[in-house]
Amino acid sequence: MSYLTSLPADAMLLQVFQSHPETSEPLLVLHERLLRGPSPFTVAERELMAAYVSGLNACGYCHGIHTATAEAFGVPEGLLAAALADLDSAPVEERLKPVLRYLAVLTRTPDRLTERDAEAVRAAGWDDRALYDAVLVGALFNFMNRMVEGLGIVADPAYVPVSAARLHEHGYTALAGAPAAG
């Protein structure tokens, strides 16, 4: 139930974006650049990061939509649940596990990040650009999770595949002009 009385009680994030274009449009451009622009990470890996951070934060709305979006880009079904349950035994590519561990520390206890955490990412074969991109995706979804939770946005389970399909097919900047229904 949306806490914004200017919107319907069942408003989704799309309606929030459309009702506040002055702040939403730049935010959606940032999403597009971070999640769809050039990066050492694939689109699937970045969507996985978004879903992983959202899962750590127990943000059902973002976790559900970005899990489905990651799966649309080729992440195997069930991988995110396994990663959240036990990253060490999850069927996540070994090279990506240090990145997800880094994001877990950034999300849960950011003051405990150390150079050793960054070195683990580099030792897995990632460079500074990859670390930068991962941090920005993690920071963006920590922000988005708080925005969604703070506004009381909850997705009906039937909405998740609709939103994931829209993100998969059209990306983020298209949300600024997407129709309000669905």
> In this predicted structure, what is the pLDDT of residue 178?
59
> In this predicted structure, what is the pLDDT of residue 175?
85
Helical (H) or strand (E) element with 25: helix 21-36
Could you tell me if residue 21 is inside a domain?
Answer: no
Q: Give yes or no for a contact between 25 and 176, defined as CB atoms under 8 angstroms apart.
A: yes
First to last CA, the chain: 16
> In this predicted structure, what is the pLDDT of residue 15?
93
Could you tell me if residue 7 is inside a domain?
Answer: no
Could you tell me if residue 25 is inside a domain?
Answer: no
Q: How many domains does the chain have?
A: 1
Nearest to 79 by CA among 55, 57, 99: 55
Q: For residue 29, which amino acid is it?
A: V
The tokens 């939403």 sit on which residue? 24
Nearest to 154 by CA among 24, 6, 15: 15
Return d(Cα 32, Cα 43) in angstroms, integer: 10
Could you tell me if residue 36 is inside a domain?
Answer: yes
* pLDDT tens, residue order, the chain (182 aa): 899 999 999 999 999 999 999 999 999 999 999 999 999 999 999 999 999 999 999 999 999 999 999 999 999 999 999 999 999 999 999 999 999 999 999 999 999 999 999 999 999 999 999 999 999 999 999 999 999 999 999 988 999 999 999 999 999 988 877 554 43
What 8-state DSSP symbol labels residue 161?
Answer: H
Could you tell me if residue 47 is inside a domain?
Answer: yes
Return d(Cα 96, Cα 134) in angstroms, integer: 10
The CATH code of the domain that includes 52 is: 1.20.1290.10
Question: What does the buried/exposed string (b/e) look like for 145-158 if buried means 16 or more CB atoms within 10 Å of the residue's CB?
Answer: beebbebebbbeee
Could you tell me if residue 98 is inside a domain?
Answer: yes
Return d(Cα 13, Cα 148) in angstroms, integer: 7
Total-model pTM: 0.94
Question: What Å distances lie between residue 7 and 12, 15, 61, CA to CA?
Answer: 9, 8, 17
Enter the tokens of residue 145. Answer: 């999770």
Residue range of the domain that includes 38: 31-174
Could you tell me if residue 2 is inside a domain?
Answer: no
Could you tell me if residue 145 is inside a domain?
Answer: yes
